[in-house]
Structure 1
Amino acid sequence: MKIELPVQIPSWIKESWEGQFEVFPWYYFAIDLPSPIFIITTLKDNGLANAQLSTWGMIAGSGNEPKFILMVHNYTETRKLIEKTGEFVINFPDISLKNKFRNTINPFDSNTDEIIASGLQHDKPLKVKAPRVKECFAHLECKLDWIRDIEKETKSTSLVQGSIVHAAIDENVLSDDLKTTCENRKWVFNVHEMVNPKTGNHGTGFLTTLDMNSRVKIED
């Protein structure tokens, strides 16, 4: 039997941290979809790097006009710098970097290079000024198309669309065998904190990667 979920938070669902259901819709935790982790990098006014961990984004567009769309909170430095500089880079880390890329969620001041402070290194971009993260296995360099508020009233988050002007991938992760190339990339997926909509109990989130041994062939 399906449980019908109301738009408004049921009375028995309580926040596990203050402001949880103001920052995120409660559906985010009731219907939980694992999402790939990436690092957004932008450039500060003083030439230092800003870095923000994210899971809210996807490649979109056509073959002739590839795009990347992401969601950002309007209060973040990343949102402000993307609008100001008109560019950003999407960097994909593997699971071995978890202790470093998680550092990018720490609060940093304007005089800190957030790539370096997180224990990572710069990699030179080709078509934008925002730096790439050297340790990441793939990068999407993007020029800003537009930023639009998602909500009509609270205006707490925005959608950002960028045109992909260049991409790069580490040759060491490549293979003609799909299983091998997936194992080499070691994508990181975020499984968010879960809320049981029947009981209101919360479950702890975690990071995971693909299990290629349990893959199922797509039938023709």
Structure 2
Amino acid sequence: MKIEYSNIPISMGKMRTYGFSWMDFVTAIPSPLFVVTSYKSNGMPNACLQSWACFKGNPSGFYAILSSVNKSGHMYQTLKEKGEAVLNFPSADIYDKCTATIANNGFDNDEITLSGLTAEAATSVDAPRIKECFLNLECRYLWEREIKDGDTHVLICLEVINICADEVHLDENIQGRYGEKGYLYNVHYPINPENFEGKSHDWIASLNKLKDMGEY
């Protein structure tokens, strides 16, 4: 039996949503995890653990759509000032260090080094890469917009102009990009609104290939 929800369920009426929609928690649709890195105006590396994004390519290029960027954060400020950033994709073994960037977010901090990670120069943009991440996407800012007028967060489009990838992860016969050592996903507060009791939390997930769809 399917259950329909057009309004917030009664059990979620007093739930803290931290700026998200109640529908985020009912659907719990996973989104890839990555760290956005850039340089602050004082030259110090900025690092922001991010999710809520999608990636799309066409003959004109490859693009990252970041769907929830806080206007008051360092990440938004540096993207507007510099117009360049790197999206760094961690595997599970360094996830805790990536999470540490949340605490080490002072304006005068080197947020990468303080979190136990290694900053290295990008090839095509003026932004740091995280050496330990198996995939780095070097990007340029293209545009932004509010999903609704007056929103505190914006949707931002970045154009990927260079890819730096670990060769072991590129080879599906050795390690690949999936499984416990590949891409990480944020599973956002999966709850059952029929019996929610006020306690829930995020999960980190990995992706396993299920079925070979054949050659194109």
Contact 2:120–2:131 under 8 Å retained in 1: yes
Match of 1:51 in 2: 47
Aligned to 1:150: 147
TM-score (norm 1): 0.87
| 3-state SS of 2:12 partner | coil
Q: List runs of 5+ in structure 2 lacking aligned partners.
A: none
Per-residue CA deviation, residues 81-103 of structure 1 (Å, 9 max, x unaligned), is 11111111100000111210111
Letter in 2 for 1:13: M
Q: Which runs of 5+ in 1 are unaligned?
A: none
Residue in 2 that maps onto 1:135: 132
Residue 73 of structure 2 corresponds to: 76
Q: Is the 8 A contact 2:104 2:114 kept in 1?
A: no
CA distance in 1, matches of 2:170, 2:57: 24
- For 1:200, what is the secondary structure of its paired residue? coil
**How many residue pairs get matched?**
212
% identical aligned pairs: 30
2:27 is aligned with 1:31 = yes
8 Å contact 1:120–1:133 — kept in the other structure? yes
The equivalences for 1:69-108 within 5 A come to 69-71=65-67, 72-106=69-103, 108=105
Instruction: Give the Cα separation in 1 of the matches to 2:104 and 2:8.
Output: 30
Offset of residue 5 of structure 1:
0.8
Counterpart CA distance in 1 for 2:125 and 2:33 is 22
Aligned with residue 157 of structure 2, among 141, 156, 161: 161
4+ long deviations beyond 6 Å: none
After superposition, the C-alpha distances for 1:15-54 in whole angstroms (9 at most, x for unaligned) are: 454xx25x10111000011221100011101111110001
Letter of the 2:185 partner, please give it: F
Deviations 1:119-172 (A, max 9, x none): 10112101111101000011111111111112224x111011111111110113
Maintained 8 Å contact 2:88/2:136: yes
User: CA 1:128–1:219 in 2, change beyond 3 Å: closer, same or farther?
Assistant: closer
1:216, CA displacement in angstroms?
3.0
For 2:86, the aligned partner's letter is V
1:183–1:27: structure 2 CA closer, same or farther, 3 Å change rule?
Answer: closer
Equivalent in the alignment of 1:218: 213
Q: Give secondary structure in 2 for the equivalent of 1:84.
A: helix
Task: Provide the C-alpha distance between the structure 2 equivalents of 1:142 and 1:64, rounded to a whole number of angstroms.
Answer: 15
Give the letter for the 2:61 counterpart: E
The alignment partner of 1:129 has SS state of coil
Alpha-carbon separation, structure 2, partners of 1:11 and 1:183: 37
**Quick one: structure 1 residues 86 and 12, their matched pair in 2 at CA, closer, same or farther if it must change by over 3 Å?**
same
Instruction: Please state how far the C-alpha of 1:208 moved relative to its aligned partner.
Output: 2.2
Q: Among 109, 113, 118, which residue is 2:110 paired with?
A: 113
Counterpart-to-counterpart distance in 2, 1:156 and 1:69: 17
Corresponding residue SS for 1:97: helix
Equivalent position amino acid for 1:58 in 2: C
CA RMSD between the two structures: 2.1
Counterpart of 1:203 (choices 193, 200, 204) is 200
Displacement of 1:206 after TM fit?
1.7
- Residue type of the partner of 1:73? N
